[in-house]
Amino acid sequence: MTTNAASIIHASQLSKRYGSVAALDGFDLVVEPGHIVGLIGPNGSGKTTALKAILGLTRLDGGSLRVNGLQPWRQRAALMRDVAYIPDTGILPRWMKVRDLLNFVEGVHAGFSRDKAERMLARTDIQRDRPVGVLSKGMQVQLHLALILAIQARLLVLDEPTLGLDILYREQFYDTLLNDYFEDGRSILVTTHEVREIEHVLTDVVLIARGKARLTSSMDGLREDFVKLTTTTPAAAPDGWLTKRQTLAGTEYLYRNAERAALAPVGSVSTPNLAELFVAIMEKPDA
Amino acid sequence: MRELLVLIRREWLEHRVMFTFPPAILLALVIVAILAATVMGRHIAVQVDVREDSGPPIPMQQRSSPPSQHYLVAYAPDAGMRPTTLTWPAATANYSPPAAQAVATPVVTDDGASAMLNLVTMPFYFLFLIVAGYACVNMLHDERKDRSILFWKSMPVDDYRVVASKFLFVAWVAPLATLACAVVARLVTSLLLSVLGEGSFVDYTFSLPELLNWLGQLLLGYLFLGLWVSPLYAWTMLAGAVMKKSPMALATVIPLVLIYVEWLATGTNGIASFLKEHLLPATLPSLHSTWSSQLGLVSGMQLWGGVLIALGLLWLTVLARQRFIEA
């Protein structure tokens, strides 16, 4: 990813400590307009802290952060005019009726389109006079998605948005996201443990561990930079691999910046998926 | 402005049950009690020792009603006072003299029936303050507890407006249902006693001017009630915004500790007096209140000093809401 003045998010050397624990330790991130960026890391890697900082929900100890040109901590309300946010499920007020929730968002958010929200809800079984608390988890996500996607936001931040949902709702969630939200100039920043289910929608990925960005790349760049060799003759595999693991098909080696042509005679050469890269980078964070 | 109204409406939607059901239940209880007292009550003989503020006991005469009724007319002809009616629930035949005396003293010195009618409205005021205190403690704590704060904060509304809307709601919107019930209670009580009491209130007939005067006092009291109790509201909101658990404990314990520390350090009880004053709905019409006493209260330093303290506490509440998300 390259940086330019029009970046939606520009974070440099962010740091945040909780007592003796460094949640963010020199974290960098750039999100450009029109990109879908996956922020991927293990539990406790600093993902949620980074998102909170981006949304103005936590005060940073150091570093420089601009989101849509604003300082999130100081200008959260202004920022949220152009930023929408869905964390993991279950944050909608359970006591509120669906209709009242729509009225509320319409009343406080100038960029909210009631018509669009109603159209999206019409595709669901959600009744307007029911309290949020009696809706199923999947319906609550549908409702939240309808509310958020009806907002004309430049950036959508998703924090484990499909956590706890069954496979049908998860598929539906990302389909809706791509069909109804994503268009030129709008960006998405998403964190999830379900790496496989978002791999196909990402344009960029940032792997984060121990509060630092360990790998920042476009998905195309990943495909070019990393190569997987599967061989039944491990002794012939060239040195310089990042990770090695035994599988039923043979021994798998993961290389960075290796010539595919040079590996081809040794075994089967393929492009590693994001999950494999994630594991590799986490095992060798300085690779 | 529209945004603020939307936020206040959201508070109403969340807390409407809390602020309407309890006073409605109390109203029903008051009406039932008055009905039972007037319809099924019996004459109760009570010795009422009515004194002037500093003078000797005033000669009393007692007049009992027919057995189906239960009122007492006390008057002091030598002092040139009008006959005055005292009433009480007639379930018991032996009404305790201290309570009767508490009613009797102002009844004779003021307009007895009005004082008695004011007494009917008092439980509503205190009920409201209990509910309001509870709501204030929880309104900023619950949103952290159920994590809905993340949704509220995903809207383009700053913390100042959110805290302001919560304060405005509890100060001026929430009391409306309770005060409406108090008005109904007073009206129903006066009508019931007038009609079913068969003229028992010799010195009280339904008076529109008197009612309007009381409503005026109630309106004035309502307008300033939110300011008078604002330190209580602001403190409990701050406790709810700061504490991860048991905000009510913090809201209660810290003032007690401060009172104790002040007493140990200086031997004074300024904090205790301040709290005692501001925990009472002093601006609302009470047994003795007059226009002048109410106006004196709302223009006094005690009210505006309390408002300044409340503003400081509300500012801290805003800072707390900015920083504390988890509970």
Residue-wise pLDDT for A99-120, tens only, equals 999 999 999 999 899 999 998 8
Rounded-to-integer distance, Cα A254 and Cα A230, Å: 9
Give chain A positions within 8 Å (CB) of B150: 57, 85, 87, 91
Rounded-to-integer distance, Cα A76 and Cα A62, Å: 18
In this structure, the answer to whether residues B25 and B150 fall within a common structural domain is yes
- Using alpha carbons, select from B270, B318, B279 the residue that is nearest to residue B167: B318
Q: Are strands A187-191 and A36-40 parallel, antiparallel or unpaired?
A: parallel
The residue of chain A nearest to residue B147, with distances taken between CA atoms, is A91
Please give the pLDDT value at position B105: 36
Cβ of residue B323 closer than 8 Å to a chain A Cβ: yes
Return the amino acid letter for B96. Answer: S
Question: pLDDT (tens digit, 9 = 90+) per residue, B30-62?
Answer: 888 877 766 664 433 333 443 334 444 433 333
Lowest mean pLDDT among A112-116, B110-114, B235-239: B110-114
* E strand map for chain B: 61-64, 71-75, 84-87
Please give the pLDDT value at position B63: 36
Domain ranges, residue B51: 40-110
Quick check: B158 pLDDT over 80?
A: yes
Cβ of residue A84 closer than 8 Å to a chain B Cβ: yes
Quick check: B75 pLDDT over 60?
A: no
For chain A, the maximum distance between any two Cα atoms, rounded to a whole number of angstroms, is 68
Q: How confident is the prediction for chain B on average, in pLDDT? A: 76
Q: Which residues contact B107 (CB under 8 A, 6 or more apart)?
A: B74, B84, B85, B86, B115, B116
In Å, how far is A146's CA from the nearest CA of chain B? Answer: 14
In this structure, the answer to whether residues B262 and B159 fall within a common structural domain is yes
Give chain B positions within 8 Å (CB) of A103: 6
Give chain A positions within 8 Å (CB) of B147: 90-91
User: What average pLDDT score do residues B19-36 get?
Assistant: 89
Q: Which domains are seen in chain A, by residue range?
A: 9-210 (3.40.50.300), 221-283 (no CATH)
In this structure, the answer to whether residues B59 and B169 fall within a common structural domain is no
Cβ-contact A208, A41 below 8 angstroms: yes
Quick check: B221 pLDDT over 80?
A: yes
Please give the pLDDT value at position B103: 40
Any idea what DSSP says for residue A251?
Answer: E
Lowest mean pLDDT among A200-209, B6-15, B132-141: A200-209
The H helix count followed by the E strand count for chain A is 10, 13
Cβ-contact B306, B230 below 8 angstroms: yes
Radius of gyration of chain B (CA): 23
Give chain B positions within 8 Å (CB) of A78: 156
In this structure, the answer to whether residues B98 and B17 fall within a common structural domain is no
Contact B157 A90 (CB under 8 A): no
Q: Which has more pLDDT, B110 or B189?
A: B189
Helix (H, G, I), strand (E, B) or coil at A238: coil
Contact A108 B325 (CB under 8 A): no
In this structure, the answer to whether residues B18 and B119 fall within a common structural domain is yes
The domain boundary residue, chosen from B67, B89, B110:
B110
Is the dihedral angle over the CA atoms A108, A113, A114, A119 positive or is it negative?
negative
Please give the pLDDT value at position B326: 66
The domain boundary residue, chosen from B110, B134, B165:
B110
Please give the pLDDT value at position B74: 44
In this structure, the answer to whether residues B192 and B45 fall within a common structural domain is no
Contact B156 A78 (CB under 8 A): yes
- Using alpha carbons, select from B220, B199, B204 the residue that is nearest to residue B283: B220
The domain boundary residue, chosen from B55, B84, B110:
B110
Cβ-contact A126, A139 below 8 angstroms: yes
Exposed/middle/buried for B245, CB within 10 Å: 0-12, 13-18, 19+? exposed
Q: Are strands A21-31 and A9-18 parallel, antiparallel or unpaired?
A: antiparallel
Crossing angle, helix B208-228 and helix B230-242, to 10 degrees? 40
Rounded-to-integer distance, Cα B100 and Cα A201, Å: 80
Q: Which has more pLDDT, A169 or A58?
A: A58
Q: Which of A67, A76, A79, A163 to mutate to test the interface with B (most CBs of B within 10 A)?
A: A76
Give chain A positions within 8 Å (CB) of B156: 77-81, 108-110
Please give the pLDDT value at position B71: 41
In this structure, the answer to whether residues B46 and B7 fall within a common structural domain is no
Question: pLDDT (tens digit, 9 = 90+) per residue, A85-98?
Answer: 988 767 899 999 99
Q: Which residues contact B216 (CB under 8 A, 6 or more apart)?
A: B291
In this structure, the answer to whether residues B28 and B142 fall within a common structural domain is yes
In the sheet where B61-64 sits, what is the strand order? B61-64, B71-75, B84-87
- Give me the DSSP letters along B20-89: HHHHHHHHHHHHHHHHHHHHH----------B-SSSPBPP-EEEE--TT--EEEEE-GGGTPPPEEEE--
Cβ of residue B42 closer than 8 Å to a chain A Cβ: no
In this structure, the answer to whether residues B190 and B269 fall within a common structural domain is yes
Q: What own/partner pairs with CB < 8 Å and gap ≥ 24 does A41-44 have?
A: A41/A191, A41/A207, A41/A208, A41/A209, A41/A282, A42/A209, A42/A282
In this structure, the answer to whether residues B217 and B81 fall within a common structural domain is no
In this structure, the answer to whether residues B20 and B119 fall within a common structural domain is yes
Please give the pLDDT value at position B119: 79
Residue B176 banded pLDDT, cuts 50, 70, 90: very high
ipTM of this predicted structure: 0.85
The tokens describing A234, both together, are 């491990």
Contact A80 B153 (CB under 8 A): yes
**Percentages of chain A per state (helix, strand, coil), in multiples of 5:** 35, 30, 40
Quick check: B195 pLDDT over 70?
A: no
Q: Which residues contact B114 (CB under 8 A, 6 or more apart)?
A: B204, B210, B214
The residue of chain B nearest to residue A53, with distances taken between CA atoms, is B323
In this structure, the answer to whether residues B46 and B18 fall within a common structural domain is no
User: What average pLDDT score do residues B115-124 get?
Assistant: 80
Structural domain total, chain B? 2
**Residue among A57, A78, A109 minimizing CB distance to B153:** A57
Question: pLDDT (tens digit, 9 = 90+) per residue, B2-12?
Answer: 899 999 999 99
Question: pLDDT (tens digit, 9 = 90+) per residue, A236-249?
Answer: 778 888 888 888 88
Q: Which of B9, B147, B150 to mutate to test the interface with A (most CBs of A within 10 A)?
A: B150
Please give the pLDDT value at position B59: 39
